[in-house]
Amino acid sequence: MGVVETLLLRPFAERPYRAGEASGGPGWHMVDLEVSRDFWEDSERDQIEVVWDQYEDKARRLAGVLDGRHGAHRVVALAPYFERGMEGEDVPEPFDDLSNFVVRLHVWTIGDRWLGVGVGQYDKELPIQLVAVTGAGPGPGAEPGTRAATGSENAGQG
**What average pLDDT does this structure show over 106-111?**
93
- pLDDT confidence of residue 155: 37
Least confident window among 9-13, 45-49, 74-78, 127-131: 45-49
Rounded to 10 degrees, the C-alpha dihedral 30/147/120/34 comes to 40
Least confident window among 23-27, 32-36, 133-137, 152-156: 152-156
Bigger pLDDT: 76 vs 154? 76
Bigger pLDDT: 138 vs 93? 93
Q: Which of 134, 135, 136, 132 is nearest to 119 (CA)?
A: 132
Spans of all domains in the chain: 25-149
- pLDDT confidence of residue 43: 73
Residue 34: half-sphere exposure toward Cβ, Cα within 13 Å: 15
pLDDT in tens, 134-157: 999 877 765 544 444 433 333 333
